[in-house]
Structure 1
């Protein structure tokens, strides 16, 4: 068997949307982007949606929009992809890393301890599609003593008058919180539409606004759309119309708009998402849970509770008693059987660049524990029932081999396992 980790979902409807865009000869930002923004707004029930060319550029944009500057602090989890912290660094600010909970997501109490008068924002990451505890995070932000510390230093900060809560929802389009779209639960939610995501535009992202009433969604949408086009007051489509060539630059913006040729891919996918693509992912996740439930080493990933439900972007399998070295061997053994697996994520303090900035993984024990025992299994609509069963059987087989702490030779003879393999707990 040859089972890739996460191929993009490309069916005839995707091909048709892309061909329609090509045939219309309008491939940069235009009607397809607008249609995708409207579909995302409908899916998330948020106040406004701005499509951009990546999650990272969307995060940089929103931090700059809020006035985050050199010397400011933004709290992020240590357990996430590097872009979460890099977006902060691109604004000249300091990423303040905190540890996570057993469910992979940021620990609200660690956030509380990390807040200082320099804290301007918190970026909470929905790992694997599992929403963070946003009620708990807002309870921290709105604490009377925390609010007293906040120092507004820009127009947007003055208007909000507290720490901004951003959801890094790169994994979590379609996740639910208290029965509603999780994207509604933050001031700002940012999606990724990278090739491996539940919905893809090849490369791309979207910003969803859910700001308090003192903000006007239409005004913020117009301003942010200009920001994605270098601060230009007209987009290319408006300029292309007769007599529409004249434009102005109103402020120092960025060039991070999404083109129609990319939006066309996502537009075809999002129209199938709730009825087809998302249920397929959920079905596979439940099959995995059923297949592993009798294994003593199986730690079920957070998928659903009374309050929250994942969008099943990843299936983050964790194995009790596993060392990092054993986990790596298991992934290699699965690859030898034709099953591509992955790890989400290498904690940022383990990466060379962040180590050079002084971050140390020893300060984030839960992040390391989650990482060392985590194996991301394939989960996508194109997987067949036969392939899912093969993955389950293969995973059980290779894990059992690694968890044998001794190898029996005869009835009364044993040898120690390969060096560096810890005895399973």
Structure 2
């Protein structure tokens, strides 16, 4: 049996939506993107959603909108994909890494200790589809002693008057914290719609605005939309109208808009997302039913007193093993036809960050999580028989290596 790790969900509705776009004669940013933005707002309860061409470019846009640049610091977890910190470097600012908790989310106590007068933004990451402790994080940045240390260096920073919380929700669309939807739990949230995500547009993402009453979210959406189109005051769809050719460039923006052809895939998927989430939970529960009886298996959190995961990943960890043992397990599992993965290699272990002086020894929980983690396939198309095969393959690999 050969089981891929994360194939995209493509059914007749997705195909029909894409064909409709192709037949419409309009494939770049236009009505499909607008419809997808409206669906994201309905799903998340955020004020406004702006579709972009990737999570990374969306995060860069937000940082530039907020005026983040050289001399500024942005706090990020050490345990995440590199884009969380690369977007900071691309703005000329400094990523300040902090350790995580056992559940993979940012450690609020470590976060608090990392705040300085240079801190402009904090980017917590919802690993595997489980939201961070946002009530605690928001409480920290609103404390009088933290607010008093904030040193605004741009009009938007002055307007907010405190550190911005930018949620890296690449994994967490559809997840909840105390019935608050991912996308509306912090000031700004950025989703990823990369090919392996719960909802995909092949490549893409969305910025969700939930700014406080010091801002008009519609006004900020309109401004960010300009940012996504090179600072141009008309998009291509508007310019294509009769007599609408004249435009202006208002400032040096980015070119990170999402095309309709990509939006069509996500639009069809998000309209089915309630059922897709049910199927993901089905797979996660089947894994839990099996691995909860194995003393060597540490199960991921798919639900607790406050949070409900959207089950983007099933991040299984194995107790009392080394990184080398984990790697051998993965080799054996792959030999049996099951594709698994690891999420993630902590950033301090990657060359670009090692060269900047980050040391994995400073993030012991991040390394421990990584060294014992194996991400199992989890997607709606998996059958009960396939999940059974995956479970037995994992167990057989562990037992074989332990025996050796």
Common fold, TM-score beyond 0.5?
yes
Please name the residue that 2:207 is paired with: 207
Please name the residue that 1:222 is paired with: 222
The yes-or-no answer on 1:131 pairing with 2:102 is: no
Alignment partners' CA distance in 2, 1:308 and 1:182:
10
SS in structure 2 at match of 1:317: strand
**1:140: Cα distance to partner?**
1.2
Consecutive unaligned residues of structure 2, counting only runs of 5 or more, are none
SS in structure 2 at match of 1:329: helix
Please name the residue that 2:161 is paired with: 161
**1:288: Cα distance to partner?**
0.1
Please name the residue that 1:399 is paired with: 398
Alignment partners' CA distance in 1, 2:402 and 2:67:
51
- Work out whether residues 51 and 204 of structure 1, in 8 Å CA contact, stay in contact via their aligned partners in 2: yes
Please name the residue that 1:24 is paired with: 24
Please name the residue that 1:244 is paired with: 244
Please name the residue that 2:193 is paired with: 193
Alignment partners' CA distance in 2, 1:322 and 1:12:
44
Please name the residue that 1:379 is paired with: 378
**292-301 or 26-35: which moved more?**
292-301
Please name the residue that 1:233 is paired with: 233
Please name the residue that 2:182 is paired with: 182
**1:138: Cα distance to partner?**
1.0
Please name the residue that 1:420 is paired with: none
What is the TM-score normalised by the length of structure 1?
Answer: 0.94
Please name the residue that 2:115 is paired with: 115
SS in structure 1 at match of 2:183: helix
Alignment partners' CA distance in 1, 2:207 and 2:66:
14
Alignment deviations for residues 278-335 of structure 1 (CA, whole Å, 9 cap, x no partner): 1100110010000111110111101101211110000000010111001011111011
- Work out whether residues 347 and 361 of structure 1, in 8 Å CA contact, stay in contact via their aligned partners in 2: yes
SS in structure 1 at match of 2:148: helix
Consecutive unaligned residues of structure 1, counting only runs of 5 or more, are 408-425
**139-148 or 195-204: which moved more?**
139-148
Alignment partners' CA distance in 2, 1:204 and 1:182:
17
What is the TM-score normalised by the length of structure 2?
Answer: 0.99
**1:104: Cα distance to partner?**
0.4
- Work out whether residues 238 and 244 of structure 1, in 8 Å CA contact, stay in contact via their aligned partners in 2: yes
**1:144: Cα distance to partner?**
1.3
The yes-or-no answer on 1:82 pairing with 2:82 is: yes
- Kindly report the root-mean-square deviation, in angstroms, between the aligned alpha carbons of the 2 structures: 0.7
Alignment partners' CA distance in 2, 1:350 and 1:193:
26
The yes-or-no answer on 1:318 pairing with 2:328 is: no
SS in structure 1 at match of 2:81: coil
Please name the residue that 2:294 is paired with: 295
Alignment partners' CA distance in 2, 1:188 and 1:240:
32
Please name the residue that 1:413 is paired with: none
Please name the residue that 1:272 is paired with: 272
Alignment partners' CA distance in 2, 1:221 and 1:113:
33
- Work out whether residues 322 and 403 of structure 1, in 8 Å CA contact, stay in contact via their aligned partners in 2: no
**1:403: Cα distance to partner?**
3.1
SS in structure 1 at match of 2:199: coil
Alignment partners' CA distance in 1, 2:359 and 2:327:
22
Alignment deviations for residues 87-125 of structure 1 (CA, whole Å, 9 cap, x no partner): 000000000000000000100000000000000000000
SS in structure 2 at match of 1:76: strand
- Work out whether residues 41 and 49 of structure 1, in 8 Å CA contact, stay in contact via their aligned partners in 2: yes
SS in structure 2 at match of 1:322: coil
Please name the residue that 2:3 is paired with: 3
Alignment deviations for residues 364-403 of structure 1 (CA, whole Å, 9 cap, x no partner): 0000000000000000001111100100111111112223
Please name the residue that 2:171 is paired with: 171
SS in structure 2 at match of 1:208: strand
Alignment partners' CA distance in 2, 1:40 and 1:217:
15
Q: When the two structures are aligned, how many residues end up with a matched partner?
A: 404
